[in-house]
């Protein structure tokens, strides 16, 4: 494994900083590093492009760190991930780490800040905290309990949002029909950013909105514009200014009713991918790039080895659809054309292909349908959740919450329609 040793030696300093920055206990950090080396060695044979070794390696380390924190969190009332790290990012999967935590702590009194810092950030046991503060252990327990309660009362800290803007997107989703066609699917050049619907070419502008079912009411809407050339780690792309209004609660940054972020995206001969994302959280401008294993890959990366979404779309046979019954091959990154359909919406009829993504872009337990016309533009985008998706959070199955919503059967499991997206392209 000479190639592995060569690449690992080159990235070792970055990897060690990555892990030790996240895990303050040096002994535990070394254990996580050792687990990362073993996992990387065992999986190296599956890495197809050596130029992606660094983000691939950091991705493994990120998962090992998450495993470590999950074990730590089992004994804590406040999630350790929320208190240890700085605010991360959010993407289609929602907030990765709740950015309001540090702002909430700043609202507390000095004694509360001190006890929470020593217990969660410094990871000191209560008897050690008692020695440092010259207090009885009982007093430390009482003070810690009270600090937790006051933290929970203040959390989450919600700064004021920005005024809403007028949008051309309707408040109610227009009625539509989707009719299967007897004609074979066509191939298409698709240059939109996955999930963001805009083509990253300077001068492009787009509005799009999200609509919950069964009410079909607009929840959030987005104004996007490709504004300038940009370079990230020597790779040139296009900067996209994205303004999001009325986001759903789990998509908000610092609880705001308005989000503004900048994306840098790149179109290659065969893929379109996001290179970087930035936004402001907790009064700090935060940047994440394709080389950052943490807070980027899960939110902004897509495709095998983070290559992005394909721009030349044609059927591959990885996903098969018969009515609302879906079967897939056993492979990662399932994105495929499943048929040709006539979509009639807002009084217009479009000849489209349906591109299905199974558990990639929006994460495990999610399936999406994207109807593209002959110009490679999105006419309609639909999301389905596995019946038990986030059942711990919602305390119900999706068939119980939305018994009248459409369902799909994917490899024998039920998926329930949740929401749709349309763009101003159809208006």
Is the confidence at residue 72, as pLDDT, over 70?
A: no
Is the confidence at residue 78, as pLDDT, over 50?
A: no
Average pLDDT over residues 59-65: 86
Is the confidence at residue 158, as pLDDT, over 50?
A: no
What CATH number should be reported for the domain whose range is 2-82? Answer: 1.10.1740.10
Q: Can you say whether the dihedral through the CA atoms of 419, 296, 304, 44 is positive or negative?
A: negative
pLDDT value of residue 93: 38
228 pLDDT band, cuts 50/70/90, is very high
345 pLDDT band, cuts 50/70/90, is very high
Is the confidence at residue 161, as pLDDT, over 60?
A: no
Task: Give residues with Cβ within 8 angstroms of 59, minimum separation 6.
Answer: 293, 297
Pairing of strands 334-345, 176-180: antiparallel
What are the DSSP E strand ranges found in 39-167?
Answer: 90-91, 94-95
Label residues 37-75 b or e (16+ Cβ within 10 Å = b). Answer: beebeeebeebeeeebbbbbbbbbbbbbbeebbeebbee
With pLDDT > 70 as the criterion, what percentage of the chain qualifies? Answer: 85
pLDDT value of residue 209: 96
Cβ 120 vs Cβ 24: under 8 Å: no
Mean pLDDT highest for which of 6-10, 323-327, 395-399? 323-327
Average pLDDT over residues 157-168: 59
Q: Cis omega (within 30 of 0) on the bond before 156?
A: yes
Compute the distance between CA of residue 69 and CA of residue 95 in angstroms, rounded to an integer. 17
pLDDT value of residue 199: 97
Average pLDDT over residues 135-157: 81
| Domain boundaries defined on the chain | 2-82, 176-426
Least trusted range by pLDDT, from 4-8, 91-95, 241-245, 418-422: 91-95
pLDDT value of residue 1: 54
Mean pLDDT score of the chain: 85
> Residue 154: what are its φ and ψ, rounded to 5°?
-85, -25
pLDDT value of residue 184: 97
Query: What global pTM score does this model have?
Result: 0.67
Cβ 86 vs Cβ 24: under 8 Å: no
252 pLDDT band, cuts 50/70/90, is confident
pLDDT value of residue 295: 67
Is the confidence at residue 308, as pLDDT, over 90?
A: no
- 63 vs 422, more confident: 422
pLDDT 10s digits, 349-396: 999 999 999 977 777 899 999 999 999 999 999 999 999 998 887 788
Least trusted range by pLDDT, from 20-24, 250-254, 262-266, 309-313: 20-24
297 pLDDT band, cuts 50/70/90, is confident
Average pLDDT over residues 136-154: 85
Is the confidence at residue 3, as pLDDT, over 80?
A: yes
Is the confidence at residue 213, as pLDDT, over 70?
A: yes
> Residue 360: what are its φ and ψ, rounded to 5°?
-120, -70
Is the confidence at residue 89, as pLDDT, over 80?
A: no
pLDDT value of residue 177: 97
Least trusted range by pLDDT, from 96-105, 163-172, 377-386: 96-105
Least trusted range by pLDDT, from 17-31, 241-255, 273-287: 17-31
pLDDT 10s digits, 169-195: 999 999 999 999 999 999 999 999 999
């Amino acid at each position: 494994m000479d190639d592995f040793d060569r690449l690992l030696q080159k990235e070792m300093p970055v990897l060690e900083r990555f892990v030790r920055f996240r895990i303050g206990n040096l002994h535990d950090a070394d254990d996580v590093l050792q687990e990362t080396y073993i996992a990387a060695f065992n999986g190296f044979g599956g890495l197809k492009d050596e130029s992606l070794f660094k983000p691939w390696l950091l991705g493994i380390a990120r998962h090992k760190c998450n495993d470590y924190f999950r074990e730590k969190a089992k004994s804590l009332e406040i999630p350790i991930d929320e208190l240890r790290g700085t605010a991360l990012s959010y993407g289609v999967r929602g907030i990765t780490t709740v950015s309001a935590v540090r702002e909430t702590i700043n609202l507390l009194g000095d004694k509360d800040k001190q006890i929470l810092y020593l217990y969660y950030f410094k990871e000191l046991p209560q008897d050690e905290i008692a020695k440092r503060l010259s207090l009885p252990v009982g007093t430390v327990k009482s003070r810690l309990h009270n600090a937790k309660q006051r933290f929970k009362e203040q959390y989450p800290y919600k700064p004021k949002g920005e005024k809403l803007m007028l949008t051309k997107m309707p408040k109610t989703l227009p009625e539509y029909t989707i009719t299967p066609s007897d004609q074979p699917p066509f191939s298409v050049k698709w240059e939109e950013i996955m999930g963001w619907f805009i083509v990253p070419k300077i001068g492009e502008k787009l509005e799009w909105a999200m609509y919950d079912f069964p009410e079909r009411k607009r929840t959030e809407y987005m104004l996007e514009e490709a504004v300038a050339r940009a370079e990230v780690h020597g790779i040139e792309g296009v900067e996209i200014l994205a303004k999001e209004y009325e986001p759903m609660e789990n998509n908000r940054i610092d609880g705001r009713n308005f989000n503004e972020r900048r994306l840098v995206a790149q179109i290659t001969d065969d893929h379109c991918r996001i290179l970087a994302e930035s936004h402001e959280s907790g009064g700090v401008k935060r940047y994440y790039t394709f080389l950052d294993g943490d807070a980027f890959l899960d939110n902004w990366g897509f495709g095998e080895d983070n290559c992005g979404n394909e721009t030349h779309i044609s059927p591959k046979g990885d996903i098969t659809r018969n009515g609302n019954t879906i079967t897939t091959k056993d492979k990662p990154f399932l994105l495929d054309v499943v048929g040709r359909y006539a979509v009639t919406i807002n009084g217009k009829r479009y000849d489209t292909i349906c591109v299905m993504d199974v558990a990639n872009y929006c994460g495990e337990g999610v399936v999406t349908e994207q109807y593209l016309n002959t110009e490679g533009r999105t006419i309609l985008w639909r999301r389905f959740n596995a019946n038990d998706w986030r059942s711990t959070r919602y305390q119900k199955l999706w068939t119980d919450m939305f018994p009248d919503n459409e369902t799909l059967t994917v490899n024998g499991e039920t998926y329930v329609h949740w929401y749709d997206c349309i763009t101003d392209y159809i208006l």
